[in-house]
A = this chain, B = another copy of it.
Amino acid sequence: MPNHTAAVQDYLKTMQLLEWDRGAPVATQELAERLGVSPASATNMLKRLASLGLLDHEPYRGATLTPAGRKVALEVIRHHRLLETYLAEALGVPWDRVHDEAEVLEHVLSEDLEDRIAALLGEPEADPHGHPIPSKDGRLPRLSARRLWDLAEGEVVSVQRVSDHEAAALRFLASAGIKPGAMVAIVGRGPLAGPLFVRVEDVPDEVHALSKDLAEAVWVA
């Protein structure tokens, strides 16, 4: 049952992340894009994973994780987020670099090391970007469903989490003080997909303009 290759783990993990933010079923192209792989390769793997009972693949209409597949995905995500937290806390790896390191380590972390790391960190419930860490039995806290981008002018909210697969974006957000726990106020927005203007409470004299991409990568409570 275990013993999945790194590629299999990556596909399942990405399936779960996409189901969370685009909803199921997941389109082949979306998946391929996220994984940096051609759509044909993704189809190929989807067929393999379906035949292993890890997901259901309705040809031409997308795929959905089965409970077995979701279990594997959550284990990988747990590894990833524990590692991010550990690297930041224990080794001082900066915010914008923990993701890439964790990306490779997640596939080789043994059960024993996982437990040691989790214990050492005090069984943390969120990684440095605010993403919840699944528990060993695969449960995880309810997530807020609002993006910073979707707020109206005048709202004041607390940052819950920020997307982590764009190091450059993370660096900018960090420099602006936009990180989990920070309070942010919407002070205005440009036309259509124009920038969103926000003020961070700790630095009240600066206003930051966020592109749509950036404002969609920040989730609030």
Interface residues of A (CB under 8 A from B): 87, 90-93, 97, 101, 104-105, 107-108, 110, 112-113, 116-117, 120
* B residues near A112, Cβ cutoff 8 Å: 93, 97, 101
Alpha-carbon distance between A90 and B113 when the two chains are bound, in angstroms: 11
* B residues near A105, Cβ cutoff 8 Å: 105, 108
State whether A91 touches B116 (Cβ < 8 A): yes
A189 vs chain B, min Cβ distance (A) = 38
State whether B93 touches A116 (Cβ < 8 A): yes
Q: Mostly helix, strand, loop or mixed at chain A's interface?
A: helix
Instruction: Report the nearest B residue to A87, measured CB to CB.
Output: B113
State whether B101 touches A110 (Cβ < 8 A): yes
A92 vs chain B, min Cβ distance (A) = 7
A16 vs chain B, min Cβ distance (A) = 22
Question: A91-B120, A107-B108 known; 5 other A-B pairs, CB under 8 Å?
Answer: A92-B116, A97-B112, A101-B110, A101-B112, A101-B113
A97 vs chain B, min Cβ distance (A) = 7
* B residues near A90, Cβ cutoff 8 Å: 90
A89 vs chain B, min Cβ distance (A) = 12
